[in-house]
């Protein structure tokens, strides 16, 4: 992660220097142009995490270590119900800019962005949760299904350039550098110990891997905004990080595809016994270990669709749909916004989907016309003061108008 941040700093410095050179050269060619090359821009930073099962207290204990009270485990299991347990985290920053000057003889203008992102996604079945935290004492005589449990994490940076037209419609092509990625998944998995604990059945098909070398690729970012004075609404579509990276390989790959079935399992002794099952390195005989070769991998892209409907000159309703970026469910946001005075806007929202269930959100925006604007967005504001909340989120944005 430190290496990624160093690359981001160097690349950001290079972009700024190049833009300064372009601006200086353009000024020398046409001294009658009064405005500079750089036009409006925005800087956005965010961080959020969300789960449908793990509250802050249990999550911190799992991350930092400590005594896990049984009540926390029981509460998490009750909250999960029969659904897959989920946890997701996303963090990053993006700088978006647009030039003041038109592209040749068109209405389009040069635009671009520089962004860095990190993403984590984890999912588990109810049976896997109980086996990990409670053991199989309450599972004797039944099949435990582990299918679909997975963990993956990645971090990447993108520098993109493109054109922006009317209504801020824009299309960018970016160069992507992905520092690392890890992933593991249980494709099919079953576990059974009979009531007399003398029969064991287990099957597993799973794989895991870590890309130790950075990958390079291309990605598209696009925005389309339908804004008309005669229309009673506004419609927005955004596509983010739609692309692929080429990974040279070098990381480890682990695969498990086996079936274990035995009766008359002894408590100790050589061969199959409860004693040998617990010995270090027992499962290594079932693992296939290899080194990954060159591969082409898709980025965790995302599509956002939003509709704004005015209720009055100073208020309106917003509906947004976010799909992709490893979210197990689409995230839907329904909100109400209102202007206060000449410089303030506030909004409240209900959010459902993504990695969690229904939660509130709110935002406030302060705008100085033709100068700048600040925006603060909080997802689940109660999560910042409660240890039993299932996540929290913070987004900050500065816009130079």
How many structural domains compose the chain?
1
pLDDT tens track of the chain, all 401 residues?
444 344 444 444 444 443 444 344 444 444 334 467 788 999 999 999 999 999 999 998 988 888 888 999 999 999 999 999 999 999 999 999 999 888 888 889 999 999 999 999 999 999 999 988 888 777 788 888 999 999 999 999 999 999 999 899 999 999 999 988 999 999 999 888 888 777 778 888 999 998 878 899 999 999 999 998 888 899 999 999 999 999 987 788 888 888 777 776 566 665 566 666 666 666 666 677 787 788 899 999 999 999 999 999 999 999 999 999 999 999 999 999 999 998 999 999 999 999 999 999 999 999 998 899 999 999 999 898 888 899 999 999 999 98
DSSP secondary structure code for residue 370 in this structure: T
Residue 155 included in any domain:
yes
**Residue 327 exposed, middle or buried by CB count within 10 Å (0-12, 13-18, 19+):** buried
Residue 400 included in any domain:
no
Helix (H) or strand (E) holding 103: none
Among the listed residues 183, 187, 246, 247, the one whose alpha carbon sits nearest the alpha carbon of residue 209? 183
350: Cβ–Cβ under 8 A, 6 or more apart, which residues? 333, 334, 335, 358, 359, 360, 361
What tokens appear for 3 in the block?
Answer: 């290496």
- The pLDDT value given to residue 4: 38
Integer Cα distance of 253 and 276 in angstroms:
26
- The pLDDT value given to residue 273: 64
Residue 401 included in any domain:
no
Residue 188 included in any domain:
yes
Residue 197 included in any domain:
yes
Residue 383 included in any domain:
yes
Domain of residue 93 covers: 2-394
Residue 213 included in any domain:
yes
Residue 399 included in any domain:
no
Sign for the CA dihedral angle at 81, 84, 87, 92 comes to: negative
pTM metric for this prediction: 0.83
């Amino acid at each position: 992660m430190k290496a990624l941040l160093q690359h981001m700093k160097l690349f950001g410095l290079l972009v700024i220097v190049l833009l300064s050179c372009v601006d200086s050269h353009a000024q020398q060619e046409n001294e009658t142009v009064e405005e500079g090359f750089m036009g409006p821009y925005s800087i956005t930073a965010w961080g959020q995490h969300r789960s449908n099962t793990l509250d802050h207290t249990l999550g911190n204990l799992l991350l930092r270590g400590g005594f896990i009270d049984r009540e926390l485990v029981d509460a998490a299991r009750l909250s999960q119900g029969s659904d897959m347990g989920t946890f997701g985290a996303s963090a990053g920053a993006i700088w978006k800019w647009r030039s003041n000057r038109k592209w040749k003889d068109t209405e389009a203008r040069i635009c671009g962005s520089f962004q860095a992102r990190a993403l984590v996604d984890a999912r588990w079945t109810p049976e896997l949760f109980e086996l990990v935290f409670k053991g199989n004492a309450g599972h004797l005589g039944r099949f435990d299904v582990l299918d679909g449990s997975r963990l993956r994490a990645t971090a990447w940076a993108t520098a993109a350039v493109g054109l922006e037209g009317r209504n801020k419609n824009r299309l960018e092509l970016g160069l992507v550098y992905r520092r690392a990625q890890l992933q593991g998944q249980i494709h099919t998995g079953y576990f059974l110990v009979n009531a007399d604990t003398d029969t064991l059945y287990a099957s597993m098909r799973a794989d895991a891997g870590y890309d130790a070398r950075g990958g390079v690729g291309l990605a598209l970012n696009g925005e389309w905004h339908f804004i008309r004075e005669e229309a009673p609404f506004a419609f927005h579509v955004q596509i983010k990080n739609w692309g692929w990276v080429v990974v040279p390989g070098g990381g480890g790959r682990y695969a498990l595809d086996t079936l274990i079935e035995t009766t008359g399992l002894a408590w100790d002794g050589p061969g199959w016994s409860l004693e040998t099952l617990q010995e270090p390195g027992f499962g290594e005989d079932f693992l296939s270990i290899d080194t990954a070769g060159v591969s082409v991998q898709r980025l965790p892209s995302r599509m956002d669709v939003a509709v704004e409907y005015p209720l009055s000159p100073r208020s309106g309703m917003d509906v947004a749909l976010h799909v992709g970026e490893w979210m197990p469910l689409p995230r839907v946001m329904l909100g109400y916004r209102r202007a206060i005075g000449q410089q303030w806007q506030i909004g409240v929202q209900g959010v459902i989907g993504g990695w969690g269930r229904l939660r509130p959100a709110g935002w406030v925006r302060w705008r100085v016309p033709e100068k700048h604007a600040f925006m603060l967005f909080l997802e689940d504001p109660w999560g910042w003061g409660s240890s039993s909340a299932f996540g929290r989120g913070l987004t900050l944005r500065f816009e130079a108008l």
